[in-house]
Structure 1
């Protein structure tokens, strides 16, 4: 049980920093003085001002330590108690208005302990305000408790002088056993977290990450909590050890403790009713409201937590939304969507642009012997309604999982695939290239949606939102090889295993070969004895190859928008080198060549990079180089998928290639229309309406669909621009 101490009243507000932690020659205010948000000329109170304050019902055991700046208006301070050194900025006979809240400036019915109050602040009914620096034109209304510890860390994973090592805050990401834990810090990016959670066997690298994090902060005690200019806090309970930026709006919170809230005028953060946020860092422009519970977390910029969401031991990337549901021990890259109360995500690495459906259970470790399993999902991950997955599992990009309980571990290596149960035959089915063949509307709509929702004001990293990019194309090549091997094995089981890929390739290229005659099985996909069957093999194989060629053509078209064929020839055809398709890794939403990533990690390990800011500069540098890296990758992909050499990339060939991409663009456009049109042609959709006219009134006419119209316009522009290429 904690002990209750009794001390003299005239010492209240003093001794914030224990004497053993004060450097020689410094008082307890030396760090507070460095934290000032504005510069004022303070003076002691005049006797007449003290008398006026007392008549207004104010009290202080030591009025000599209440300092003010001119102009000072004692009538705007009423029924308050001041302890310790309190400094009050310039005052004016005005009131502040924010939405429907109107408050006269000044300090009313509050207890203030050793604080700095900025100019024209309006502080009303704050029952206890201790060791805070309050900015200018701040509104505080009906707050029960605002206080600061001398060893406040504001959500950062650091230790202050005298702290026990056990008090260090860590985020236990990707695994419930803490084996991938990281130290959070203000400014941390998903890419940083990804690097840190990987390579756990590399102890030197892991120690460098820790040292770089500790090096960002001062270990001295004595920093005050801060509320930035123009921030509004009202009708809230406990606010402790916080660093809040400017222009934030906080209302009705139950608790903010050990939290940094980033906010600026152009990207203000709002925290609403019933929220409890502990040990966290919140990025710019976030929205958190209606009963959210978050503990040990980082919420990146322009993300949302709402409607009772629970976020624990997790990192949520930029431009993401989590509503209602529960997320534990997860690292989530940018543009994640999860909206349903009965969806659950645990111990996972989800690489962004994902969508968790209602009833999806991606995570409970209760189906294994220990809570140490993990799930890794590439970007575009889409577990469908009521999907239950078992740890450990891994999914390629844009995997769609059909409703069902998947009782065994899965390793889905084909991108854009649909995974489903064939219950009557007790088989697992994989349909490759499903999104291209059957749901182009949803796929391409997501493509545009994530771009439009990227509201970052400082885009220091290039987040790849295109469905066709080096990561997905590399997975597609792997899928082609796996399909060729599976077909060859199915039709020539007695052949040497080294020949299966060639034999399968020949069968896939032969339009007369009926690939429906036999089951085409995949190995190493599910940890069970049942069959894993590949379906729609020829269609999927052709779609994969078509999209690889289209990817290459669009990248080359983009290059020729600003370059000539002569420049292309000089840059890419005369070096005598063989074009190699580089491997890329999704590092927090930014695609980085593995060779560049290895160099970055080696520079960190070797001490050539000593701080996170320099790491972020490298991200920015690689982002600026990414368009070139992507073009080189597209060029190598084109050569590989067609079995060509560089010398065959003549101007007429490239002209034809780009012209053929118009047909693929048109096909994509038609597929977008066709897949959405199915919803209008479905009689079960129509049956809830009196007629088609009512359906159009409720859900909108197909002809008026904004996305379809946009895609048609984009196709028209693309087709027109190609006509004059390489002429």
Structure 2
């Protein structure tokens, strides 16, 4: 605890001579090394504590300003060491300010009454009329929010989570705000009931009201020009700039919102980006990206999603109001001018093109295209597995994780193929086979819910899903057996046995976290019965699921290997494993060749349209080459070819290592 003393008579006289006033000088306490030389035109009201004013700040352009107080009114304020506060148009009231903080040209900074600083604000996500409210808080993860928004069929669980959040919010409520150390606030309007963390940079902001900015030294937060935020929480490492307007919003770690982006009643989790467009009542899971002016995201749940320009959704049909909602599962994309009439559900890693008004549910047909032709939704199952764009997306997401904070709120699984997506491919494969059986193999068009599937698309879809299943199961068995020299088939069988029974059954994607549903249910039971009483404990449970993903994954994969290849765990032979690996090699190489062929389209003559200013075909090709490079040396293309070689070597290595036991 820092020691303070009262001002001496000489110090009071000196301050008065420097145009300083106080309602009661006895209520102004200072540190032992306080120096009156750096306090001018300052009014003190209520209880004020001042640190030392040693040191100076070097601002942009090279100008230097010494620490001190100039032209400011302070009411019930504690100022740390080496701070510079000047030109406050109104006053600063009820704040504790850390060390080395610079505040200049601000209208007003105050806490008025008891404030929770954005904690406990209800965000009417997904359904604008209410019913799925998420109570935001400093420690909110995408996974917590997912449970709170979607598990309304368990009212006792929802009540308990609300109680836990309310306890946290009330515990951190105060009539005194905090501005951390090494903070810079310049050329800003009104800041009311806002808690500001260390190393935050606020410049040119219009208005901030009732919120928390959870900045820290590892991951500073930047709030820029023209920003208006009300009833909000902004997490570490985020950047909110250029006229962004937020109302009742949570902004997760390392998000970027700018270029006049507007959002209300929305949640943005790790690494989301929003520019130019508008969001209303959306649940933006990790890596939700929207960049375009005419794009409206409304009443939807997204993650790993990229919205094309002009993407739009409708959440009401002009009957009972905006009550409908929809989901684009992880990795789904929308093309320019796409439209979806909610309710609808689009399967993982699918591409939406055109206008869709028939409420399709393609969740069990992932990696598909949804194409509009003549107001009809046509479904092309599994085709996105061969898309170069899908593979490129999967590679880029881990590289684009900008979170610097060691305390990460969201636990993100980047795997393209996982028990979550493969279980859907198993279901999708059965759906397509059943359509074929019921409608006949020679049907030109098959109907699935409100969508149409062409005969050729259906047959190819079955093939795509089988290739992906073989690839995933082969990957799993190779990983399980790597690095061990086996002496007998019994040793191999022993190694294949899972380390735990956890992982069997259904898997879920809890907004970025892929986990067995049984483990999620166990957590929810713990919350309901009172075993889990804190937000930290909930986040720790999610972390445990994330860390044990590969252990649980093998339990699921081993069970599916037996089912898919019709094997018995006690009778698996070396030859069975060799057969699985050979099929895996064919699947991996076959899929890579499809991706390679898809990439080659980007270097076709038609793709060169627009290249070459005024010249011949030769000049067009040369111009294209200078800008886009040569196909064979494209980094992605070379990576695909290397992947084929590496996987071939990996499969052959296992076959050679166990082949003598066959």
TM-score (norm 2): 0.92
Unaligned runs of 5+ in 2: 614-619
Q: Secondary structure at the match of 1:477?
A: helix
Partner of 1:182: 134
1:546 to 467, 484, 488: 467
**Cα displacement (A) at 1:295:** 0.8
Taking a change above 3 Å as real, the CA distance of residues 460 and 146 of structure 1, as seen in their structure-2 partners, is closer
Q: Report deviation, 1:46.
A: 1.3
Moved more, 683-692 or 231-240: 683-692
2:248/2:265 contact within 8 Å kept: yes
Equivalent residue runs for 1:629-648 within 5 Å: 629-647=552-570
Contact 2:443–2:455 (8 Å) recurs in 1: no
**In the TM superposition, what are the counterparts of 1:62-461 in structure 2 within 5 Å?**
62-97=24-59, 102-127=64-89, 128-157=91-120, 169-218=121-170, 222-350=174-302, 352-403=303-354, 405-412=355-362, 413-423=364-374, 427-437=376-386, 439=387, 441-456=388-403, 457-459=406-408
Q: Which residue of 2 aligns with 1:654?
A: 577
Q: Evaluate the alpha carbon distance shift between residue 591 and residue 134 of structure 1 in structure 2; reply closer, same or farther with a 3 A threshold.
A: same
Corresponding residue number in structure 2 for 1:16: none
Aligned partners of 1:409 and 1:100: how far apart in 2? 60
Aligned partners of 1:59 and 1:81 also within 8 Å? yes
Q: Tell me, which stretches of 5 or more residues in structure 1 are unaligned?
A: 1-38, 158-168, 492-514
Q: Deviations over 1:455-494 (max 9, x none)?
A: 3334576422121111111111111111011111122xxx
What residue is the counterpart of 1:485 in the other structure?
434
| Aligned partners of 1:242 and 1:258 also within 8 Å | yes
Q: Deviations over 1:214-273 (max 9, x none)?
A: 222436964311111111111110111111111111111111111111112221111111
1:330 shift after superposition: 1.5
SS at match of 2:135: coil
Matching of residue 46 in structure 1 with residue 15 in structure 2: no
Distance in 2, matches of 1:574 and 1:185, equals 38
- Give, in whole Å, the separation in 2 of the partners of 1:106 and 1:47: 20
Deviation at 1:188, TM superposition (A): 0.6
**SS of equivalent residue, structure 1 residue 597:** helix
CA contact (8 A) 1:125 1:142 kept: yes
What displacement does 1:60 show? Answer: 1.5
- Preserved contact between residue 580 and residue 636 of structure 1 (Cα < 8 Å): no
Contact preservation (8 Å) 2:248, 2:266: yes
Give SS of 1:204's match. helix
Q: Is the 8 A contact 2:420 2:509 kept in 1?
A: yes
> Does the CA contact (< 8 Å) of 2:470 and 2:583 recur in 1?
no
User: For residues 485 and 68 of structure 1, do their structure 2 counterparts lie closer, same or farther at Cα, with a shift above 3 Å needed?
Assistant: same
Shift of 1:178: 0.6
Number of aligned residue pairs: give it. 643
Residues of 1 paired with 2:327 and 2:140: CA distance? 21
Q: 1:99 to 1:249 in 2, by over 3 A?
A: farther
Structure 1 residue 578: Cα displacement: 11
- Deviation of 1:290 after TM superposition, in Å, equals 0.4
Asked if the contact 1:176–1:371 (Cα under 8 Å) also holds between the matched residues in 2, the reply is: yes
How much has 1:66 moved relative to structure 2? 1.3
Once the two structures are TM-superposed, the CA of residue 64 in structure 1 deviates from its matched residue by 1.6
Separation in structure 1 between the aligned mates of residue 15 and residue 628 of structure 2, nearest angstrom: 64
Partners of 1:101 and 1:623 lie apart in 2 by 49
How far apart are the structure 1 equivalents of 2:469 and 2:647?
18
Tell me the distance in 2 between the aligned counterparts of 1:385 and 1:261: 34
Deviates more, 1:121-130 or 1:454-463: 454-463
Structure 2 equivalent of residue 464 of structure 1: 413
- Going from structure 1 to structure 2, the CA distance change for 1:580 and 1:123 (only over 3 Å counts) comes to closer
Across the aligned residues of Structure 1 and Structure 2, the Cα RMSD in angstroms comes to 2.4
Supply the distance in 2 between the matched residues of 1:462 and 1:253 (Cα, whole angstroms).
31
Instruction: Give secondary structure in 1 for the equivalent of 2:86.
Output: strand
From the superposition, tell whether residues 149 and 716 of structure 1 become closer, same or farther in structure 2 (CA, over 3 Å). Answer: farther
CA distance in 2, matches of 1:100, 1:721: 58
Deviation at 1:427, TM superposition (A): 4.1
Bigger shift: residues 286-295 or 616-625: 616-625
> Does structure 2 conserve the Cα–Cα contact (< 8 Å) formed by 1:522 and 1:534?
no
1:14-57 deviations in Å (ceiling 9; x for gaps): xxxxxxxxxxxxxxxxxxxxxxxxx4221111122122212222
What's the offset of the Cα at 1:406? 1.8
* Structure 1 position 613, deviation (Å): 1.5
Q: Structure 1 CA distance, aligned partners of 2:183 and 2:460?
A: 58
C-alpha spacing 1:716/1:120, structure 2 compared with 1 (3 Å)? farther
Which residue of 2 is the match for residue 561 of structure 1? 482
Distance 1:679 1:638, change over 3 A: same
CA contact (8 A) 2:117 2:193 kept: yes
The question of 1:628 aligning with 2:551 is answered yes
Using the TM superposition, give the Cα deviation of residue 367 of structure 1 relative to its aligned residue in structure 2, in angstroms: 4.9
Structure-1 separation of matches of 2:562 and 2:173:
61
Instruction: Judge conservation of contact 1:305–1:323 (CA < 8 Å) in 2.
Output: yes
Structure 2 residue aligned with 1:524, among 423, 427, 449?
A: 449
Q: Distance in 2 between matches of 1:226 and 1:105?
A: 19
- Paired residues of 2:377 and 2:450 also in contact (CA < 8 A): no
